[in-house]
Amino acid sequence: MHASKKAIPPSVVKRLPKYLAYVQALCLEKVEWVSSNELAEQLGLTSSTVRQDFSYFDFSGISKRGYETIGLQNMLINILGVDTAWQVVVVGAGNLGRALALHEEFPRRGFNIVGIFDKDPTKLGMKVGALDVKPMRELPTVIGRHKVNMGIVAVPAVAAQSVADLLIVAGVKGLLNMALTHIVAPDTVSVIDSRIVASLLELSHSVSFSR
């Protein structure tokens, strides 16, 4: 089903979304070819890294031309698993949760937000785009009915683990953690941290110590 020589190393997977974003832009501009050199320059990498990365998948470039943009795009879409539509729920209807539920970029990339939940009774029924905020007890039903496979955890740190547990029990296979805490999950469930505050702290360090 998914064609690739062997498992792709994590370091490479992290760069794939970058490649995809750039190649999609090129496709829209009707550019047909792109070289490892151009990709490297635009994405802050070396051309060697780019070629090495692409060597993990069944896709070849042509000397003197580079890589065919549409083919590359399809390859990346396939490898990233974006060729299937994902059903996603958001837990936490605070500022961040609501913003994510409304983020236009998600549906555009194949991630459909099918529900938003909060335990705070004062938030229930609140309209967030086409959705309204539902109580936590409806989580399993919605996840079952829409065959939801991913959950976005956008609650305060203290609640993150228990929300994650609820999502996992309900059958979700991937979690995007926006809280600063670490989430423990069985290894049948993937967890990726996108902790904005952690990034700012990291930034704070590099700004403090840059010459």
Partner DNA sequence: CTCTATCTGTCAAACTTTTGACGAAAGGGA
Partner DNA sequence: TCCCTTTCGTCAAAAGTTTGACAGATAGAG
Contact set with its own copies (CB under 8 A): 2, 7-8, 13-14, 16-18, 20-22, 25, 42-44, 79-82, 84, 86, 88, 95-96, 98-100, 102-103, 105-106, 109, 111, 149-150, 157, 173-176, 180-182, 184, 187-188, 190, 192-211
Q: Closest Cα to residue 134, out of 148, 154, 120?
A: 120
Nearest-approach distance from CB 23 to its own copies, in angstroms: 12
Residue 171 structure tokens: 């059958």
Nearest-approach distance from CB 38 to DNA, in angstroms: 8
Beta-carbon contacts of 56 under 8 Å, excluding residues fewer than 6 positions away, are 4, 5, 6, 8, 9, 12
From 4, 55, 141, 162, residue interacting with DNA (rule: CB under 7 A): 55
Taking the C-alpha atoms of residue 115 and residue 139, their distance in angstroms, rounded to an integer, is: 8
Nearest-approach distance from CB 201 to DNA, in angstroms: 17
Beta-carbon contacts of 150 under 8 Å, excluding residues fewer than 6 positions away, are 86, 87, 88, 89, 111, 172, 173, 174, 175, 176
Residue numbers of the site for DNA (CB under 7 A)? 9-12, 35-37, 45-49, 51-52, 54-55, 60-67
